[in-house]
Structure 1
Amino acid sequence: MSYQIKIPSTIYGEEGCIEKIKEIIEKEQARNLLVFTDQGIRAAGLLEILLKELKKLPVNFKVFDELALEPCDQDVERLMAKVNEEQGELIVAVGGGSVMDAAKLCSILKGAAYGIKELLTDSSQAKKMLKTVMIPTTCGTGSEATCNAIVAIPKEQSKQGIVNDVMIPDYVILDSQMIRRLPKSILAATGVDALAHAVECYTSRKATPFSDTYAMASAKLIFQNIREAYHNPDNMEAKSNMLLGAFYGGAAITASGTTAVHALSYPLGGKYHIPHGVSNAVLFAHVMEFNKDACKRQLAQICDNIHPVMAMEDEEKKAQYVIDEIADIVRETEIPLNLDRFGVTLDDLDFLVEAGSRQTRLLVNNQKELSLKDIRDIYQKVLK
């Protein structure tokens, strides 16, 4: 089997490495920057860390900070109307997955003959119009490494991924000071999202030796650090490991792909606006329990890496240990265990089953085929 991996060409890591933005700007000979963030990031003072560096340089920059949480196609159109009015030689994104996804979309839409609607129909036509720099402020989405951008589709009450290799960022700055004051709830949700990337990619039908390497490294870092990072926010070593683990998980996606956890979570975000990491976390252990008999070997290998004292146990026990760890992490980090608080009830089940079954881009990656009944059974486990 032939396989490949495409990742950002330049990645910087270490607390304080945001200063590398100077090196990037000089290399790209950029004088007009388009800076993407959101108002929460700006209010937290994180954008100012970047702007402090930019103000030392002979550059102009325009900040776009009215980005929607989990943007829909109309949000992207409105953003592009403003972006196309500005000059720009380089895009810099400071934020979580929504900010980085919006920035990646702008990198292929600025000045292009096609629009977002055309990309939703056929993303293969995308071309990179501007290079991108990603500075993540959470430890989970992995968007800084991927060729994907997720867009909500209100009329379908779901989400869709736009996927094209040209959206892989050119530069990534993994500066742990950007997550120093990350709220515990966001650390938990984004961290479990990253863990889902790792486990799903490792157990995917499309897994390759390249994706396995990144997915396993991601799984080990996150399993072994997420509790510490959650309970002891001042432990910057744990947080740095989470940031790196999230990047590795994103890199795994580019060579493999997520599976049924992400597929079934999309309708939860699209219709009910449940945060992406939370919707994944609610479903994660239940989907892996369903998948267990089809990917027992891979789950056992993850167990060998994260809990080697079980090396002599059989595959069944090892696989169950990993699934139990996932469920325990969700409980310990106080992520909701069901959909009660989001107003999703059994009356919504038919919609969820139908919408979830349409996520074929990801469902085909699942080791075990899901029937409509299987999908219904999984959703029922998180509904009352």
Structure 2
Amino acid sequence: MLTQYTLKMPHVVYSGEGALDHIKEIAGTCAGKAVVFSDKGIMAAGLLEKPLSLLKEAGVGYSVLDGLPAEPDCEEAQKVIDAFKAEKAGLIIAVGGGSVMDIAKLASVLATDAYTVRDLLDDPCLAKKCVPTLMIPTTAGTGSEATPNSIVAVPEKELKVGIVNDAMIADYVILDGEMIKNLPRKIAAATGVDALAHAIECYTSNKANPFSDTFALEALDLILTNIERACDDPDALDAKNAMLIAAFYAGAAITASGTTAVHALSYPLGGKYHIPHGVSNAMLLVPVMKFNEPACRDRFAAAYDRIAGGKGMPQRTPEEKSAWIIRRLDEIVTHLEIPSSLREYGVGDQDLDALVEAGMDVKRLLVNNMREVTPEDARKLYMEIM
């Protein structure tokens, strides 16, 4: 665990019933028009209607950039950002999932011509905030609204890469359950398990600290208690709101700590095979946590005490508590019917060498893992999900 630690958060976070109404006051404080980042799916689902009507009520001009592809690569991101530059925006509003928010955050530091997305891949320290941002997540999962991270695919590497700079932390965040109440179960499940991975990884990271533990444990408690009902019951607004808050908390934990081997080994699966990020994390979550268990047993046991110990559960040994946490993760992934085999996506034994090489290259996350991951370990973990 770190001996020195930092907590950096969005400037203002609005949550609860009617939180979207704060769009008017936020937009009213910014000079110039608003540019709304979204995608075709969000538009088709009608989720832009209220945010845009609130901008109209505030008398703020706006334009919409909804041509964002799912999980974009760096070239696709640059194309959208180039279109954004021409708008001369005074405020960026992102309405969408992780990819939408990630590209909007990049746009907030790329209104200048001084550097490009590829320049930031080489040197993230170049980024300087140019335009204030408002993040409105439409999934309860990525936590991008809370982090300084933007994830883009790099085609020639067939890998997703994180650009991390504090300048990309949002100025404003709105968490409103209305934005996720009609989320399809398949998407709610994959994004929810992404948040679950964030929480348990940050709690068991080498960079874990009192700040990250506070958010990671609360997120873990909320997710383990609510995720199944939030995905299964369209009317469970309380569970959906809890998941939205949990995803934000887990994002805050990322900012204070960092994810580990689940995300490190997941990135090549998205970069080369275009497996949805939440799905690839879900596949790897239990195998990696079982691998990590000898090094993380005390942390898993403490998580059990925080989550289950005060809820009428029997007394258990640290080994039993640790096993309970891993079993609960497995139950959730199984219940949510997330794909469990890489072969469903055309990945076979012939791909193992390239996967191992790419996964081991994600050193910024592997160094966070409490148990060292060797190339042979990575191979065995990938083989478990073949």
Same fold (TM over 0.5): yes
The equivalent residue for 2:9 is 7
Q: Secondary structure at the match of 2:64?
A: strand
**Corresponding residue number in structure 1 for 2:66:** 65
* Equivalent position of 1:336 in the other structure: 339
Task: Determine the structure 1 residue equivalent to 2:209.
Answer: 208
Whole-Å separation in 2 of the counterparts to 1:319 and 1:30: 52
Equivalent in the alignment of 2:354: 351
SS at match of 1:369: coil
1:236 is matched with 237
2:98–2:143 Cα contact (<8 Å) kept:
yes
Moved more, 50-59 or 361-370: 50-59
Using the alignment, how far apart are the partners of 1:291 and 1:135 within structure 2? 34
**After alignment, is 313-322 or 132-141 more displaced?**
313-322
Instruction: Give 1:356 deviation, angstroms.
Output: 0.4
Q: Deviations along 1:142-194, whole A, 9 cap, x unmatched?
A: 00000000010111111100000111101000000000100001110000000
Contact 2:27 2:34 in 1 (8 A): no
Q: Any conservation in 2 of the 1:30–1:59 contact (CA below 8 Å)?
A: no
AA of the residue aligned to 2:61: N
- Distance in 2, Cα, partners of 1:77 & 1:232: 39
**SS of residue matched to 1:46:** coil
Give how far 1:29 is off.
Answer: 3.1
What is the Cα-based RMSD across aligned positions, in Å? 0.9
Q: Runs of at least 4 residues of structure 1 off by over 4 A?
A: none
- Aligned residue in 2 for 1:84: 85
CA deviations over 1:98-155 (Å, ceiling 9, x no partner): 0000000000111240111110001011100111000000000000000000010111
Share of identical aligned residues, percent?
Answer: 53
Where does 1:204-353 land on structure 2 (aligned, <5 Å)? 204-308=205-309, 309-310=312-313, 312-353=315-356
* Structure 2 residue matching 1:109: 3-state secondary structure: coil
- Which secondary structure does the structure 1 equivalent of 2:156 belong to? helix
Distance (whole Å) between structure 2 residues aligned to residue 162 and residue 207 of structure 1? 21
Spell out, residue by residue over 1:296-344, the C-alpha distance to the aligned partner (whole angstroms, 9 max, x if none). Answer: 1111111112222446211111111111111110110010111121111
Q: Give me the TM-score of the superposition, normalised by structure 2.
A: 0.97
Unmatched 5+ stretches in structure 2: none
Gaps of 5+ in 1: none
Structure 2 match to 1:24: 26
Deviation at 1:52, TM superposition (A): 1.4
| Count, aligned residues | 382
Letter aligned with residue 295 of structure 2: A
**Counterpart position of 1:364:** 367
Q: Is the 8 A contact 1:31 1:58 kept in 2?
A: no
| Native 8 Å contact 2:27 2:55 kept in 1 | no
Retained in 2: the 8 A contact 1:304–1:310? no
